[in-house]
Structure 1
Amino acid sequence: MGRMKFVQRRAGRYEFRFPLPDDLAGKPVPPPWPETLTAFVNARAGRFKTELVRSLQTNDGRTADRRVLAHIAEAHRLVDQARRFLRDGPAAGISADQIAALARDHEIHLLATDETIRAKGVGLDMAHEDGQGHHDGLGMTADDLHAYQILVDELDRHTRQQAAQMRAGESTSAFVNRAVEARGVILSPDDPAWRQLELAFVKAQRSALAGIRARLNGDEVLTPERQRETRSLALTAALRLWAEAGGAGARKPQPSSVAEAERAARRFVELHGDLPITAISKAHARAFRDALVRLPKALPARIGRLPLPELLKQDLGQYPRRNAQTVNKTLALLSGVLARAERDGHFEALPAWTNPFHVGFDVAPAEREPYEPFSAAELQRLFASPVYAQAERPLGGQGEAAYWFPLIALFSGARRTEIAQLKVGDVRQGEAGIWYIDITNEGADQNLKTMSSARSVPVHHELIRLGLLDVVAAQARVQPPSAPLWPSFAPPIDPKVKAWTKWFGRYLGVHVVDSAAKTFHSFRHTFKRACREAGLSEEVHNALTGHAGGGVGRRYGRERRADGTLDCGISLARLQIEIDKVGYRDVALPRPNSERIRFKRAAN
């Protein structure tokens, strides 16, 4: 097997060798460059290096291949940061955490300097004419101590005065300037961060001088160790870790959620850059949230491809705006990415850290549950529409999916994706010859919203009457059990489901009802309501729809089926009896679909 890329063996040990891309290698680096880019910079020449070399500290090839992964991810992150630095210049602004870290470093610097002075002394000896006697360099002379104490007292008095006035002196401002420059941070002269930094440094000086005075009284005051510089994960790197979510058997986010999170992160990076996650502040999150509010929910592709800052310069007034719930969902995904990083310990150096993406909107009560069940009159109009009354199959409806998706949802409560991703073998016979739909995530490109969504739903007698089993049998004669039940929904399913849903929304608007509260998901609400009307217990209709509920006790009493999976704790026979109680009064259901199908391109 070939060696992992960027891994080379040298003198019996493995090392990571990463050539910098041509647009960086050897190029001048304008100062001040961020400390995080130091590994890429030849400080003497003021240019980017041509290659990054790091020892992997092993002579075992497999160990080297594992260790190099983190180095590769870090190198690519630094490449992105270096390119942004050359394009945009030094990062503007500074976070509260960075202010605290700079002030802490200042305090440590003062305590460490004091330790050095007292350890070696100056050698003052006022008994000699020149004030300098023989000194062995082992601690302070009595005159050293006296003079130094006067100096410390004066510094302490001056610092206390600055604290009382809440106004930093020139020497303190000089310390701040040097610290900011060393970090490669650019602040506008009128940026409020200057005042925050200066007051933080004054506070740090008071703390350091209190420690020094205690030392001069003979007390032991240790100099804190500088925190090791930890290279914080960039947002995109944290996103990858969240999406991978461990090895086999680990619970992973749904592919659709990963895709949405990737789109959200891309927009955030377009606005702020691929920031280290420890540098992301609520100010960044608020700016991102407010940008999303201005971003329409649907845009033509030629406009939608623009970077977010450019997109917001366009006249977007003609497009419908996205609602607060959609914005909150986007923020929640990025919040989840950072929450995973927090569990992994990436914020341990920031004890006061809170998730910056917790800046969602308060949604109006009327908007929290936007979906409503269909009325009997609306269902009647649906079944009198061309798909059911005239056997039309608009191209956007993807053949038989236009006919069967609403019916299956109406008599099972299944979600659109759960129906679309069914395989031929997912509709089968179980105990006592009962036909059921196995809603699972076992097949290729099959995903479930939650763990409780995995379930077996008996096929309602109306679906059998209408010919669903004939559809399954026809597919089973020509396709293996693992093939898609609906040929138009072969993997990848998610984009096809979204396209179908847009078609169905238009179809509803033309033939049934034009309301934001009435969508395909309304079938699930309609089924739940019908279950209650039929007298089904909550435990039973939750088992049919895959809703969690009932606490720990719901997991008790589950039996293992012949295929090795666990049932929901209620037998198929009981579920069959219960689901067949569900009906819809005052609704004339379509006749069995035995007419010749007419495929027709429809404007809707």
Structure 2
Amino acid sequence: MPNYLYKRSDGRSQNWYVRLTAPTEIHPLLEPAQHEIRQSTGTPDRQKAKAVAARLEAEYRQRWEALRATQRDAPGHASLQSVGLTASLITQICGARLGSWSLTDDFERIEQDGLDDESLQHIEGFCALTDATMRSILAQGRRSSHWDPVVKSILEWGEDLGYDIEPTDPLFPQLVRGFAAAERQAHAIIRLRNGGETPAFPLQEEAKPRLSEMKAAYTTHKEGKVGRKTFTTNLSIWQRFVDFSGDVPLDSVTSGLVYRFLDDRLHTDQQPWSANYALGRAKNTLKEFFGLARTLSLMTVPNPVLALEIQPALSAEQAEARKRPRYPFATAQLNTLFASDWYVPTSPSFTGNMRQDLAARYWAPLICLFHGLRVREVVQLHSHDISVVEGVLLMTIQLDLTGTESSEGAERTLKNASTQRTVPVHPELIRLGFAEFVDTVRQRHAVGAPLFPSAVPNPDSKNPLWGRAYEQAFLRHVRQRLGFGPGFGNHSFRHTVEDKIRDVQLLQGVWPAGLSQFYTGRKLPRDSDKLLLRLQGSEIDYGKGYNPVNVVKYIQRITYEQVTLPLPFTTWLAGQAAVDPKLLRKNQSPLRKARAASKRTANGTRKEA
């Protein structure tokens, strides 16, 4: 909002005048004559004129800000984007300023009724004052008495363009000089036009797509086609890059900027990334975003990630400190767990879902101990996932919920295709009463239902996730209450099983090629297993894997002789209900089901769109 005091050049009045320009974004809400305000302060005294001008500015600013608030609240209005200045962006901002003056001048001279003598005199006076002000900026820099008002005008002009510019930006002085030069050039052209000449304003540099525009493009391209966690994590990585770089044009991004971003994330004091994450996941995400931008013709320069000839690095000590290892449980830790409050049905240490769902507390860790299931795999189990073939109790890890109580609720998720499998239930789980437990679930429900009702996602959640309550409660229990510390959690069972399978093969012979990967749902073996297992090549990609009935003789070798397991389930309950009826009623309430169905329908609509 430029606000300059000036005097008429024809000398017809000694009073000072003020000229105010409304923000461009609210021009559609104003009459054309209100886009620019020229008003006398009514005094020839400059100090008094400043006071009058400040009051007038405050009045108009209040009106205009109310209109801007209306614009901001309107659907689809984009919020300001924090930007880091670049030479290209400075050129764009200053070019837009010249373009704005061109439109304003053409409108007043051509599209309106033209300019009378008094209007010309007003403009002449304003042009002369603007020229003097901008010369002062260019000659004196920060020492100019006009520095602060011009900075204020630049920041407001940036807001009109949708940029949140920080005066502390290292390139801000260059923006001020570019803005001052553009103002001088614009008003020199206007003065020539006042004299009857017809100079043209320079052509404005075309606005180029910015980094922030890729969020919507990526959402259209990827949402619903990858897991929710993958999708949101990739968007988060991109937003971090935008925050670091500023919302600059896509074409201005260089490999140097990408390098500085990755280096910053490796060495920042606040939650630094590991080398694997920064140079793996994050780098690949940036490459994908820029590749999509080029494919959609939003970017014309080469993909800057591909131009990285070297990568930032951590010292060996830093790299080791950044690792987030997952450790297997030791025998002593397993005994501690099974003797802890987690396996005391009446323990007051647990509240909410974990107090109401004793079945989850009992069975989830045991299933993971003998099967190496991932946390989401075990908490998503339904009664229809358990079957009997040729007298063998089988467990199927799958996504299908057709015909179950959960068919209208949140979808199940799996890590990848090789995760889907059918395996025999370990004999030790059968001994503890797993088959009878599943039968009780079937007796309660006419169709397939969750084995662990506490795992049913809250339909009001922004991102419904199966088993969140169990996952968080178990993590807190082993890391904090039991004092196992970082690196231990449900995933520790998975490493425990894989270590046990390796030990079994060392002592009792190697299993058939690929069987251990099939059993644990891992397409590729861990590095520690590669020299031991006979890899199956590509045959894992064909057919449905091993006949689970024939797998029993191998998995029954997975035993924990030195671990004291809990009592069989029915005995362990000691008369307590496996699942609190209140929890069952909550999951089966019509309102909860309606919300879940509505959310699922909405998700499906977004995917189809």
TM bucket normalised to smaller: 0.5 to 0.7
3-state SS, counterpart of residue 400 of structure 1: helix
3-state SS, counterpart of residue 452 of structure 1: helix
3-state SS, counterpart of residue 473 of structure 1: helix
Q: Which moved more, 1:405-414 or 1:505-514?
A: 505-514
Q: In structure 2, what is the equivalent of residue 409 of structure 1?
A: 368
Q: In structure 2, what is the equivalent of residue 354 of structure 1?
A: 304
Q: In structure 2, what is the equivalent of residue 278 of structure 1?
A: 250
Q: Alpha-carbon deviation of 1:543?
A: 1.3
Q: In structure 1, what is the equivalent of residue 560 of structure 2?
A: 584
Work out whether residues 210 and 247 of structure 2, in 8 Å CA contact, stay in contact via their aligned partners in 1.
no
Q: In structure 2, what is the equivalent of residue 342 of structure 1?
A: 291
Among 528, 535, 558, the alignment partner of 2:542 is 558
3-state SS, counterpart of residue 364 of structure 1: helix
Among 454, 467, 470, the alignment partner of 1:488 is 454
Work out whether residues 531 and 541 of structure 1, in 8 Å CA contact, stay in contact via their aligned partners in 2.
yes
Q: In structure 2, what is the equivalent of residue 63 of structure 1?
A: none
Work out whether residues 385 and 511 of structure 1, in 8 Å CA contact, stay in contact via their aligned partners in 2.
no
Work out whether residues 426 and 556 of structure 2, in 8 Å CA contact, stay in contact via their aligned partners in 1.
yes
3-state SS, counterpart of residue 514 of structure 2: helix
Tell me the distance in 2 between the aligned counterparts of 1:488 and 1:458.
25
Q: Alpha-carbon deviation of 1:365?
A: 2.9
Q: In structure 2, what is the equivalent of residue 440 of structure 1?
A: 398
Among 208, 224, 227, the alignment partner of 1:254 is 227
Distance 1:45 1:510, change over 3 A: closer
Q: Alpha-carbon deviation of 1:415?
A: 0.8
Tell me the distance in 2 between the aligned counterparts of 1:342 and 1:197.
34
Work out whether residues 373 and 518 of structure 1, in 8 Å CA contact, stay in contact via their aligned partners in 2.
yes
Q: In structure 1, what is the equivalent of residue 327 of structure 2?
A: 372
Q: Structure 2 regions of 5+ residues with no counterpart? A: 1-18, 36-63, 69-73, 97-150, 179-202, 402-409, 526-534, 579-609
Q: What do the CA deviations read for 1:125-155 (whole angstroms, capped 9, x no partner)? A: xxxxxxxxxxxxxxxxxxxxxxxxxxxxxxx
Q: In structure 2, what is the equivalent of residue 474 of structure 1?
A: 440
Q: In structure 1, what is the equivalent of residue 550 of structure 2?
A: 574
Tell me the distance in 2 between the aligned counterparts of 1:518 and 1:545.
19
Tell me the distance in 2 between the aligned counterparts of 1:261 and 1:446.
21
1:140-539 matches, within 5 Å, as: 191-192=170-171, 229-232=207-210, 234=212, 238-243=214-219, 245=221, 252-260=225-233, 275=247, 278=250, 282=257, 289=265, 294=270, 322=271, 324-325=273-274, 328=277, 332=281, 336=285, 339-340=288-289, 342-343=291-292, 345-346=295-296, 348-354=298-304, 362=314, 364-365=319-320, 367-368=322-323, 370-388=325-343, 392=347, 394-395=350-351, 397=354, 398-430=357-389, 432-443=390-401, 444-492=410-458, 497-509=467-479, 512-535=482-505, 537=511, 539=514
Tell me the distance in 1 between the aligned counterparts of 2:320 and 2:435.
42
Which letter maps to 2:392? I
Work out whether residues 266 and 278 of structure 2, in 8 Å CA contact, stay in contact via their aligned partners in 1.
no
Tell me the distance in 2 between the aligned counterparts of 1:575 and 1:392.
38
Work out whether residues 261 and 330 of structure 1, in 8 Å CA contact, stay in contact via their aligned partners in 2.
no
Q: Alpha-carbon deviation of 1:378?
A: 1.1
3-state SS, counterpart of residue 456 of structure 1: strand
Tell me the distance in 2 between the aligned counterparts of 1:522 and 1:547.
15
Q: Alpha-carbon deviation of 1:480?
A: 4.4
Distance 1:448 1:495, change over 3 A: closer
Work out whether residues 369 and 497 of structure 2, in 8 Å CA contact, stay in contact via their aligned partners in 1.
yes
3-state SS, counterpart of residue 518 of structure 1: coil
Q: Alpha-carbon deviation of 1:479?
A: 1.9
Tell me the distance in 2 between the aligned counterparts of 1:364 and 1:240.
34
Distance 1:549 1:265, change over 3 A: closer
3-state SS, counterpart of residue 395 of structure 2: strand
Is the aligned partner of 1:95 residue 2:86?
Answer: yes
Q: Alpha-carbon deviation of 1:577?
A: 2.6
Q: What do the CA deviations read for 1:524-543 (whole angstroms, capped 9, x no partner)? A: 11011011111154722211
Distance 1:496 1:446, change over 3 A: closer
Please state which structure has a larger fraction of its residues in helix.
2
Q: In structure 2, what is the equivalent of residue 544 of structure 1?
A: 519
Among 55, 77, 80, the alignment partner of 2:78 is 80
Q: Alpha-carbon deviation of 1:254?
A: 1.5
Tell me the distance in 2 between the aligned counterparts of 1:40 and 1:337.
40
Distance 1:428 1:599, change over 3 A: closer
Which letter maps to 2:395? I
Q: Alpha-carbon deviation of 1:391?
A: 6.7
Tell me the distance in 2 between the aligned counterparts of 1:511 and 1:41.
64
Tell me the distance in 1 between the aligned counterparts of 2:437 and 2:247.
52
Q: What do the CA deviations read for 1:336-388 (whole angstroms, capped 9, x no partner)? A: 377246325246534144359x9998462364351111111111222222343
Tell me the distance in 2 between the aligned counterparts of 1:496 and 1:364.
33
Q: In structure 1, what is the equivalent of residue 590 of structure 2?
A: none
Which letter maps to 1:407? L
Which letter maps to 1:591? L
Distance 1:534 1:285, change over 3 A: same
Work out whether residues 233 and 277 of structure 1, in 8 Å CA contact, stay in contact via their aligned partners in 2.
yes
TM-score, normalised with respect to structure 2? 0.52
Tell me the distance in 1 between the aligned counterparts of 2:246 and 2:177.
28
Q: Structure 1 regions of 5+ residues with no counterpart? A: 1-27, 52-74, 86-90, 106-176, 200-224, 295-321, 560-566
Q: Alpha-carbon deviation of 1:439?
A: 1.4
Tell me the distance in 1 between the aligned counterparts of 2:333 and 2:168.
64
Distance 1:346 1:418, change over 3 A: same
Q: Which moved more, 1:591-600 or 1:366-375?
A: 591-600
Q: Alpha-carbon deviation of 1:511?
A: 6.0
Work out whether residues 232 and 278 of structure 1, in 8 Å CA contact, stay in contact via their aligned partners in 2.
yes
Q: Which moved more, 1:365-374 or 1:250-259?
A: 250-259
TM-score, normalised with respect to structure 1? 0.53
Indicate the RMSD between aligned Cα atoms, in angstroms. Answer: 5.6
Which letter maps to 1:94? L
Q: Alpha-carbon deviation of 1:516?
A: 0.8
Work out whether residues 376 and 585 of structure 1, in 8 Å CA contact, stay in contact via their aligned partners in 2.
no
Q: What do the CA deviations read for 1:64-121 (whole angstroms, capped 9, x no partner)? A: xxxxxxxxxxx955x124xx38xxxxx664236546989999xxxxxxxxxxxxxxxx
Tell me the distance in 2 between the aligned counterparts of 1:267 and 1:528.
36
Distance 1:259 1:469, change over 3 A: farther
3-state SS, counterpart of residue 396 of structure 2: strand
Work out whether residues 438 and 457 of structure 1, in 8 Å CA contact, stay in contact via their aligned partners in 2.
yes
3-state SS, counterpart of residue 594 of structure 1: helix
Q: Alpha-carbon deviation of 1:417?
A: 1.1
Tell me the distance in 1 between the aligned counterparts of 2:375 and 2:20.
53
3-state SS, counterpart of residue 419 of structure 1: helix
Q: Alpha-carbon deviation of 1:465?
A: 1.0
